[in-house]
């Protein structure tokens, strides 16, 4: 029997009416003979409301406690969806992260999936046609409830598909992967298919459709992912291995990341222990930094990097701790920059692409402050107010 | 180290401010050297709101699904309380029913606790001072989430105390056990101590402070229960074994149960199979009936009983099913009656008490329709509008 994992995000399940529409869609697919694993997020703004309540208590909630709280959001969605499905005659069962056997390791709020019991699903499909799994959550070896952090429900879905060796369909309010954000460049084209690698760059660089860890899992297990708009007739985008892709374009997309902060650190002497300790703290807090650049001169040490603005609180805390050991430490956190990246899995001639980007930005008089490259992308830090303009010019330039 | 189980009901934790007050109280007790297991209910009207949402979907939700939904209420309370405790420096850990090892059997929504892993608590107290357990919930051997039904959080607390052989303190908005409801008879007296048996009668007969199953557990494991008002200086009531009670009064209380329905069933012939099937259905739906009276005559079968009005939907369903087999079956469900009970563990001279009650009701011209007796109580069905008057007169008569 054909099995598929489907994932519906928060805006697709923001109220009971929307959940009912999804239930009817699932019923049709079951009647066509499919076994469905459905992963859902918390309804609409539920998680935000829980966090707001917590914020009224403390700015530094215990992370184990917070995980127990936040997972109730998804638990409510699985219950409602299952109540509706059973009510319209589809044999359905809701499963929390623990019940679905989603074992995790690491931070309570940023856990990584370490193990999934796929036999459990085979057994349950003897009785049920739809198994509804709460996204974003799991449990660790201490039997504690954990959450998977940003994009966690997508990760749940892809990991479940990987464990069962079946395709994964992810439904949101976006109808596929575009060469760039259509709100910035309306002529942007929707891709029918992109490679895992391209998608990873786009995600890591902030285009935001799917977090890189999900794509990494899909790539490792060679699971095709479909990205489409919830209950839409429009064809979305398949993400798959490059081997299965017929044509590889040099440049397939331009991504922009506005949700970043730029961090600069100065210290009067070249102290490698300070750097050691900084990176140890970053690792402990599981903060991903990007575009690191370091200069050591007679005037001492200068280091700068970019990171997600959602983790500003943690980096402030880290600098607070460091200043106890290194009182002369100076640091600056700025959000006046944005990162623009040009991506393409066929991007062999990096310098050719780089020089085209340079010329585009220079001709338009848009200054850039830092450049970093990966296998299939080049990223530029530009002024926040120039970001969208840069995206538009680059899309025109590369005919996206 | 002294260990105590404390339970706080829904109105005691209806908002974050109230939960903060409880946290400070718990901190004080921890500082006095206690290990605390704290059981909490869902905040205020949370459960009602979830049920309202479900009602907008269907009147017959799948019970497994509904259990998964309802348990999120308590899970949120344990998280908030633990966040606050950890924030004020008390090492605390929230535990869902599953995490607390509360194994259950039976109906998803009316499960009974079958096993508790008390070693788990001993282990966790090596690290934590307060363990916060979500009331009203557990899990069954199929790893499914279950709820314990009416008064479930109290049962959680008492069962945890039984498993750990420690006292149990139950805090609500009522400051103890009264001879009758003070809203009906303002001169009602608060007991310092009552026996398990008396308390069981009062609960079973609807005085509503604590459900009988909780008291039954406490009695079986000989665990003293304290009933008091949340964060009040007033002394509440201890419920304990009669052996430890010095004085036993003949009549200790008058209870009234307004939340009942009166069910009458007629069938033109004396069909015992019909009765068999009825009681099989009642057992299956786990409906407790009370004050059963049956008459068989030439005109056929007549049976009447009382039950909780919250289960009216289920009894309607049962009669619907029975009518398929017995089309001539006639049934009537009425809520125009109330039950008034006189309770006392020292009530040896049942006829003496009964005749006093008869006279009281007759003198006041309050008709009664049915009388049943137990070891330590006598119950009367009277008209709904006469219930409170009957309580007042009986309290005066027995000097309560």
Reported as a single tens digit per residue, the pLDDT across B159-182 is 999 999 999 999 988 888 888 888
**Do B64 and B108 touch, CB atoms closer than 8 A?**
yes
Q: Where are the beta strands (DSSP E) in chain B?
A: 2-8, 34-40, 92-95, 102-105, 112-116, 130-134, 137-139, 145-147, 168-172, 193-195, 225-229, 237-240, 253-257, 260-267, 289-297, 300-308, 330-334, 337-343, 368-374, 377-383
Reference A309, options A337, A279, A349; nearest CA is: A337
Nearest by CB to residue A61, choosing from B20, B58, B83, is B83
Q: pLDDT for B39-96, tens place per residue?
A: 999 999 999 999 999 999 999 999 999 999 999 999 999 999 999 999 999 999 999 9
Which pLDDT score is estimated for A302?
A: 83
In the block, residue with structure tokens 């966090």: A51
Q: Is B381 or A160 the better-scoring residue by pLDDT?
A: A160
Out of A66, A84, A93, the one facing B57 most closely (by C-beta) is A84
ipTM here: 0.75
Residue where the block lists tokens 């056929």: B300
- pLDDT at site A350: 55
Q: What angle do CA B272, B274, B279 make, to 5 degrees?
A: 95
Spell out which chain B residues touch chain A, with contact meaning CB-CB distance below 8 angstroms. 16, 20, 50, 53-54, 56-58, 60-62, 64-66, 68-69, 71-72, 75-76, 78-80, 82-84, 86-87, 92-94, 96, 98-99, 143-145
CB contact under 8 A, A68 and B61: no
| pLDDT confidence bin for B207, thresholds 50/70/90 | low
Residues of B in contact with A99 (CB under 8 A): 143-145
A57 → closest Cβ in B16, B78, B145: B16
Report the percent of chain B where pLDDT is more than 70. Answer: 94
Q: Is the pLDDT of residue B9 over 90?
A: no
User: What's the pLDDT score for residue A144?
Assistant: 96
Taking an 8 Å cut-off on Cβ atoms, the answer to whether B75 and A75 are in contact is yes
Instruction: For A244-303, write each residue's pLDDT tens digit.
Output: 665 566 788 888 888 889 998 889 887 878 888 888 888 888 888 888 877 777 778 888
Residues of A in Cβ contact (< 8 Å) with B57: 16, 20, 80, 83-84, 87
CA distance A186 to chain B (A): 40
Cα Rg, chain B, nearest whole Å: 22
> Searching chain A, which residue's CA lies closest to the CA of residue B15?
A53
Q: Which of A61, A62, A63 to mutate to test the interface with B (most CBs of B within 10 A)?
A: A62
Q: What are the boundaries of each domain within chain A?
A: 2-173
What is the per-residue pLDDT for B346? 64
Q: Give the pLDDT score at B204.
A: 60
DSSP conformational letter for A179: S
The string of pLDDT tens digits covering residues B279-331 is 888 888 888 888 887 777 777 888 888 888 888 888 999 999 999 999 999 99
C-alpha–C-alpha distance, residues A35 and A127, integer Å = 11
Interface test with A, best of B40, B56, B62 (most A CBs within 10 A): B62
Please report the beta strands in chain A, taking only residues with DSSP state E, as ranges in sequence order.
2-8, 34-40, 92-95, 102-105, 112-116, 130-134, 137-139, 145-147, 168-172, 193-195, 225-229, 237-240, 253-257, 260-267, 289-297, 300-308, 330-334, 337-343, 368-374, 377-383
CA B160 → CA B10, B19, B102, distances in Å? 19, 21, 9
Q: How far is CA B353 from CA B237, B359, B361, B379, B388, in A?
A: 25, 10, 12, 11, 19
DSSP assigned state of B190: B
The pLDDT tens digits of the residues spanning A290-321 come to 888 777 777 788 888 888 888 888 899 999 99
Q: Model confidence at B390, in pLDDT bands (50, 70, 90)?
A: very high
Q: What is the pLDDT of residue B369?
A: 80
Instruction: Answer whether A26's CB lies under 8 Å from A85's CB.
Output: yes
- Tally of CB atoms within 10 A around B336: 9
What confidence tier does B379 reach under pLDDT thresholds 50, 70, 90? confident
What's the pLDDT at A371?
78
Please tell me whether residue B265 adopts helix, strand or coil conformation. Answer: strand
Report the topology of domain B2-173: Carbamate kinase (3.40.1160)
Model pLDDT, residue B155? 94
Chain A contacts to B (CB-CB under 8 A): 16, 20, 50, 53-54, 56-58, 60-62, 64-66, 68-69, 71-72, 75-76, 78-80, 82-84, 86-87, 92-94, 96, 98-99, 143-145
A173 is in an annotated binding site: yes
Q: What pLDDT does residue A274 have?
A: 86
Is the distance from CB of B250 to CB of B200 less than 8 angstroms? no
- Residue entry with tokens 């004396």: B270
- B35 bridge partner residues: B3
| Per-residue pLDDT at A206 | 55
| Of the partner residues A62, A71, A94, the one whose CB lies closest to the CB of residue B82 | A62
- Of A252, A253, A228, A247, the closest CA to residue A238 belongs to A228
pLDDT at B248: 61
Cα dihedral value A174, A176, A178, A184, nearest 10: -10
Measuring CA to CA, which residue among A175, A197, A288 is closest to residue A245? A197
Residue among B102, B187, B190, B193 at smallest CA distance from B392: B187
Report whether A53 contacts A72 (CB < 8 A).
Answer: no
What is the reported pLDDT for B118? 86
Query: Which residues in B lie closer than 8 A to residue A61 (C-beta atoms)?
Result: 83, 86-87
Binding site feature residues of B for ATP: 7-10, 172-173, 178, 183
| Lowest mean pLDDT across B118-127, B365-374, B376-385, B388-397 | B365-374
Three-state DSSP at A2 gives strand
Question: b/e map of A337-367 (b: 16 or more CB within 10 Å)?
Answer: bbbbbbbbbbbeeeeebbebbeebbeeeebe
Q: Residue A207: what pLDDT?
A: 56
For position B246, what pLDDT does the model report? 55
Task: Give pLDDT tens digits along chain A (400 positions).
Answer: 899 999 998 889 999 999 999 999 999 999 999 999 999 999 989 999 999 999 999 999 999 999 999 999 999 999 999 999 999 999 999 999 999 999 999 888 888 999 998 899 999 999 999 999 999 999 999 999 999 977 889 999 999 999 999 999 999 888 888 888 888 888 888 888 888 888 887 776 555 667 778 888 999 999 999 999 999 988 899 998 876 665 566 788 888 888 889 998 889 887 878 888 888 888 888 888 888 877 777 778 888 888 888 888 889 999 999 999 999 999 999 988 998 988 876 665 556 777 788 888 888 888 888 777 777 788 888 999 999 999 999 988 888 7
């Amino acid at each position: 029997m054909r099995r598929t994992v489907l994932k519906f995000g928060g805006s697709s399940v923001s109220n009971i009416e929307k959940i009912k529409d999804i239930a009817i869609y699932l019923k049709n697919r079951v009647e066509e003979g499919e076994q469905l694993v459905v992963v859902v997020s918390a309804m609409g703004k539920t998680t935000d409301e829980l966090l707001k309540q917590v914020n009224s208590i403390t700015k530094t909630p215990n992370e184990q406690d917070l995980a127990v709280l936040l997972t109730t959001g998804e638990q409510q969605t699985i219950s409602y969806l299952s109540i509706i499905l059973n009510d319209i005659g589809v044999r359905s069962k809701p499963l929390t992260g623990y019940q679905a056997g989603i074992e995790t390791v690491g931070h309570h709020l940023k856990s990584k999936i370490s193990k999934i019991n796929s036999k459990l699903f085979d057994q349950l499909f003897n009785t049920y046609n739809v198994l509804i799994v709460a996204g974003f959550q799991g449990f660790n070896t201490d039997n504690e409830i954990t959450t998977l952090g940003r994009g966690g429900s997508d990760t749940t879905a892809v990991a479940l598909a990987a464990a069962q060796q079946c395709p994964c369909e992810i439904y949101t309010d976006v109808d596929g992967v575009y060469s760039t954000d259509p709100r910035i460049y309306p002529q942007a084209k929707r891709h029918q298919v992109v490679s895992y690698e391209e998608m990873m760059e786009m995600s890591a660089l902030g285009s935001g459709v799917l977090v890189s860890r999900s794509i990494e899992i899909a790539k490792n297990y060679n699971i095709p992912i479909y990205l489409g708009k919830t209950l839409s007739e429009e064809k979305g985008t398949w993400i798959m291995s490059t081997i299965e892709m017929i044509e590889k374009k040099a440049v397939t997309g331009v991504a922009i990341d506005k949700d970043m902060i730029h961090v600069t650190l100065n210290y009067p002497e070249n102290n490698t222990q300070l750097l050691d300790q900084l990176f140890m703290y970053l690792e402990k807090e599981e903060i991903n930094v990007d575009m690191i650049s370091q200069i050591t001169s007679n005037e001492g040490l200068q280091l700068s990097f970019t990171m997600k603005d959602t983790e500003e609180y943690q980096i402030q805390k880290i600098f607070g701790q460091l200043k106890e050991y290194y009182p002369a430490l100076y640091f600056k956190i700025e959000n006046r920059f944005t990162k623009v990246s040009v991506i393409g899995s066929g991007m062999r001639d990096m310098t050719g692409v780089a020089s085209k980007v340079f010329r585009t930005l220079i001709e338009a008089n848009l200054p850039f402050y830092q450049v970093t490259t990966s296998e299939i992308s080049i990223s530029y830090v530009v002024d926040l107010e120039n970001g969208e303009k840069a995206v538009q010019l680059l899309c025109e330039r590369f005919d996206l």
